[in-house]
Amino acid sequence: MSNGAGRVPEHRARTAAGHRIPQTLLYALTALLAACLVVLGTTRSAEAAPSADDLIKVFVVQDPAQTGGQLATLQSIAAATLGGAGRADEIFELNRGQAQKDGAVLNSLGDQLHPGWILRLPQDASGPGVQLARDTGGGNSASAPPASGTASSGTGDAQSTVLTIPLTAAVALFGAVLLALITAGIVGRRKVRAASGAVGRGVRALGAPIRRRRRLAQRQETSRRFEADGDSVQRAYNTLGEFAGTDREPEKPVHALSVDDAGVTVWLSASDAADAPWASVDSTRWRRTAGAPGLRAAGGDDGVTSRSALTTACLVRAGTDEADRPVFVDLSRLDGVLSVSGDRGVARDVVQNLLAEIARSRPNMPVTVLRGSADAPPLAVPPNLRQMPQAATSSVTKPFASHGTVRAAASRRPVRGLVVVSGTPGPQEEAELAALCSVGWTGLVCGETQEAHWRWYTDGEGRVGIPVLDLRLTVPA
């Protein structure tokens, strides 16, 4: 209803707006006042010195040559600066998708870090590796803080000021008024959007258990498929024969391969190349279609094929890729120890699956189990493997040298026995692991260890990342 000259009564207006009119006007007046201050400040400008609020905490990834051969990981940075490797995801979220100076970006928790990368840290980070930098506002760019004691200076003379508003300032003032009016309309909708966002999050939270159960069922089906499928294993070993060394050419190391009905894909070193009918997919992947013949089979007639590489190889299916194809890795190229960290339950599934794969292809393999952290999920040794009591290591004093997570640095060693650590090893378990691996055993660790050459990272969605191969697989359960 109208009142007098047609105005809506004030209390009716407040009720219809949900008591938001005073707050809306406050936002509008604040924006307008800020614009006026900008206009008045056109007669004199000065660059303000950076305050403490402009500084952020960062970590600069060092070259392995400066750190004894160990390249930093998000987990090791979190352990050194935030008090625990479990906070690695906080560092990841601060740096996800931000371009580094070499053009690379961090896309997943398991991505390999590059020397020279500048990673943002949470504000509670501390330690000798933490540095202060100035946020320049350009993506992930940051610069060193300014030298202390510097400040801009003025003349100090008092002068009378004639206020003039040039055309550009008038346009800016008009834009500020328009912005204030738009802000008034936006503020009134914020609570509605916030409420709808909360409803959406609630719906997603209610659906999370259903999605987890569905994904777990898919992973369990993958495990049953692996157990029943022997053909892909044979095809994988036959493919290795095509790259084994002969009296005419040396072996081309195959670090991983994928077998499916449409063909075979292999991961070679960046310095190697495969001949036709293999076609390049990228710098390390090569693919041969199912219709194309192989170059040779193991023990072929075109030169004496070395069978030592085939007998040394220990192919296991680590999981499936995005196209649901099984991907094999060669455990003989671990150079001693594999560390699987991240989500503890999924890490256990990874190691449990590797044991099942070895039990199918290498029955009666000796296995010894060391107990790491007390809260680690237990591991079951398949009956086809020969579980051994804890081996005596008192006579072994020199552990093998760790090379870091660099594919080219790995040397092949036969998998003669397995030492499995359930959970992150303590100092005693670290010593026993190093001693056993120095005499020919291969280590599988559910957790972080300094003795690892390969490091895999898991998440709560049932996936494992293999940074050295740039692979992200779904793990059987």
pLDDT at 4 over 50: no
Residue 474 and residue 402 share a domain: yes
Which of 41-45, 175-179, 459-463 is predicted least confidently? 41-45
pLDDT at 165 over 60: no
Residue 198 and residue 178 share a domain: yes
Most confident of 45-59, 63-77, 292-306, 387-401: 63-77
Residue 274 and residue 364 share a domain: no
Residue 27 and residue 172 share a domain: yes
> In the listed set 263, 284, 313, which residue is the last one of a domain according to the structure?
313
Contact between 462 and 215 (Cβ < 8 Å): yes
Whether 130 maps to a domain, the answer reads yes
What is the model's pLDDT at position 18?
A: 42
Share of the chain above pLDDT 70, in %: 68
What is the model's pLDDT at position 210?
A: 85
pLDDT at 139 over 60: no
Whether 2 maps to a domain, the answer reads no
Contact between 338 and 454 (Cβ < 8 Å): yes
Which of 171-180, 191-200, 320-329 is predicted least confidently? 191-200
Whether 409 maps to a domain, the answer reads yes
Contact between 390 and 371 (Cβ < 8 Å): no
- The pair of three-digit structure tokens given for residue 149, joined into one six-digit string: 């004691």
425-437: buried (b, 16+ CB within 10 Å) or exposed (e) per residue? beeebbbbbbbbb
Whether 319 maps to a domain, the answer reads no
Three-state SS string across the chain, please?
A: CCCCCCCCCHHHHHHHCCCCHHHHHHHHHHHHHHHHHHHHHHHCCCCCCCCHHHEEEEEECCCHHHCCCCCCCHHHHHHHHCCCHHHHHHHHHHHECCCCCCCCCECCCCCCCCCCCEEECCCCCCCCCCEEEEECCCCCCEECCCCCCCCCCCCCCCCCCCCCCCHHHHHHHHHHHHHHHHHHHHHHHHHHHHHHHHHHHHHHHHHHHHHHHHHHHHHHHHHHHHHHCCHHHHHHHHHHHHHCCCCCCCCCCEEEEEEECCEEEEEECCCCCCCCCCEECCCCEEEEECCCCCCCCCCCCCCCCCCHHHHHCCEEEEEECCCCCEEEEEHHHCCCEEEEEECHHHHHHHHHHHHHHHHHHCCCCEEEEEECCCCCCCCCCCCCCEECCCCCCCCCCCCCCCCCCCHHHCCCCCCCCEEEEECCCCHHHHHHHHHHHHCCCEEEEECCCCCCCEEEEECCCCEEEEHHHCEEEECCC
Which of 16-25, 47-56, 329-338, 395-404 is predicted least confidently? 395-404
> In the listed set 106, 141, 176, which residue is the last one of a domain according to the structure?
141
> In the listed set 94, 125, 141, which residue is the last one of a domain according to the structure?
141
- What average pLDDT does range 398-421 have in this prediction? 63
- What average pLDDT does range 452-458 have in this prediction? 91
Residue 98 and residue 130 share a domain: yes
Residue 99 and residue 26 share a domain: no
- Domains: count for the chain: 4
Residue 476 and residue 335 share a domain: yes
The residue type found at 400 is: F
Which of 86-100, 307-321, 400-414, 436-450 is predicted least confidently? 400-414
Whether 151 maps to a domain, the answer reads no
What is the model's pLDDT at position 33?
A: 60
pLDDT at 352 over 90: yes
pLDDT band (50, 70, 90) for residue 95: very high
Measured between alpha carbons, how far is 457 from 398 in angstroms, rounded to an integer?
28
Q: How do 442-446 and 337-342 pair as beta strands?
A: parallel
pTM assigned to the model: 0.55
Enclosing domain of residue 271: 230-313
Question: Across all residues in the chain, what is the average pLDDT?
Answer: 77
Residue 353 and residue 382 share a domain: yes
- The pair of three-digit structure tokens given for residue 314, joined into one six-digit string: 């220990």
Residue 383 and residue 266 share a domain: no
Whether 193 maps to a domain, the answer reads yes
What is the model's pLDDT at position 67?
A: 80
Higher pLDDT, 355 or 336: 355
pLDDT at 25 over 70: no
Which residues make beta-bridge pairs with 118?
Answer: 60
What are the C-alpha distances in Å from 399 to residues 438, 439, 444? Answer: 5, 9, 16
- Which of 254, 247, 256, 258 is CA-nearest to residue 274? 254
What is the model's pLDDT at position 305?
A: 42
Whether 161 maps to a domain, the answer reads no
What is the model's pLDDT at position 191?
A: 60
Residue 475 and residue 382 share a domain: yes
Residue 471 and residue 335 share a domain: yes
What is the model's pLDDT at position 403?
A: 41
What is the model's pLDDT at position 9?
A: 43
Share of the chain above pLDDT 90, in %: 35
- What average pLDDT does range 53-65 have in this prediction? 85
Higher pLDDT, 2 or 460: 460
Largest distance between two CA atoms of the chain: 106
What is the model's pLDDT at position 279?
A: 94
Residue 341 and residue 477 share a domain: yes
Q: What is the pLDDT of residues 261-314, one digit of tens each?
A: 899 999 998 889 999 999 999 989 999 998 877 654 444 444 444 455 567 889
Q: What is the pLDDT of residues 227-270, one digit of tens each?
A: 998 889 999 998 988 888 887 888 898 989 999 989 999 999 88
Whether 257 maps to a domain, the answer reads yes
